[in-house]
Amino acid sequence: MTNLDDRLPPSSATSLRAGNGEPLLLLHGGTSSWHCWESVAPLLFDDHDVFAPTMAGHAGMPDLPRPYTIAKAVDWLEKTMDEAGFETAHIAGNSLGGWLGMELARRGRARSVIALSPAGAWSTTETRVPRIFRIMHAQQRLGAPVLPLVMRPPSLRRALLRTVCEHGDRLTADQAVLAARNALCCTALDDFPSVIATEYEPYGMLGIPVLIAWSEEDRILPADHYAANWRRYAPSATWRTLPDVGHVPMYDNPELVARTILEWTAHATAIRTAS
């Protein structure tokens, strides 16, 4: 992972806000926090007013009224956007964040969407993803007392984080420990099976530029298993493959992720300006 840009401002435990330009909302994946964007965000500050919140039910944030649902999560995000002064924004989201970005677009809050290996659009009988999260959570709980020790060697970070990223050794030990501890604090995780089992409506033609960029080495949501449903749910989306990155591409290649976001937001702004 690259060193943080000098312009990365002091931030709260719950969000990051910095930069100038068109509004850009960054949404993390399930069990994560805004910190997954910390090496990407400084690369976006020259072009965007960047806001990256930690979502409700994640990393110690207060719960939504239980049970956690996608509709409640989007309600919370709309309120959070209002408080940030974002009537609309470009939205880049990973996994659950990509799914929520598409739901915000459905409600008319997006100028464009960049969905990075998005969750959602799956069968209501999906069992694989809940099983992966159960196994990961059990492993993290067992390893919690020794996390600072086992995350110290780069080779161990790479091995232990292989489910979520291809190059875990690019994170610092502190970043790896924080990612694992965030996952342990995710209360929304308890309701993920029911979230997955709920039937959702396809997005159709949203009327804004949508990019679905799938990680080539995704082990949680491999494209050959999950992309077909997204092609049906979002028929107007443009597709791209991100090479040599895992499910959380921000950990593996922040520059690639930032470039992908900036190219797409510039494309969307040019279309809107020309119309």
pLDDT in tens, 4-55: 444 555 445 799 999 999 999 999 999 999 999 999 999 999 999 999 999 9
CA 234 – CA 202 distance, rounded (Å): 7
What pLDDT is stored for residue 12 in this prediction?
Answer: 58
What pLDDT is stored for residue 199 in this prediction?
Answer: 86
- pLDDT mean over 175-183: 93
Count CB-CB contacts under 10 A for residue 18. Answer: 19
From the number of C-beta atoms within 10 Å of its C-beta (0-12, 13-18, 19+), residue 179 rates as: buried
pLDDT in tens, 118-154: 999 988 888 888 888 888 878 777 778 889 999 999 9
CA 62 – CA 223 distance, rounded (Å): 33
Q: Is the overall model pTM greater than 0.85, yes or no?
A: yes
What pLDDT is stored for residue 1 in this prediction?
Answer: 40
The token duo for 114 is 């960049």
Residues 6+ positions from 270 with CB-CB distance below 8 Å: none
Q: Is the model's pLDDT at 3 over the cut of 60?
A: no
Domain range 15-274, CATH class? alpha beta
What pLDDT is stored for residue 4 in this prediction?
Answer: 45
Q: What is the mean pLDDT of the chain?
A: 92
- pLDDT mean over 194-203: 90
CA 100 to chain centre: 9
pLDDT in tens, 212-261: 999 999 999 999 999 999 999 999 999 999 999 999 999 999 999 999 99
- pLDDT mean over 163-186: 94
Of the candidates 39, 12, 41, 14, the residue with the CA atom closest to the CA atom of residue 26: 41
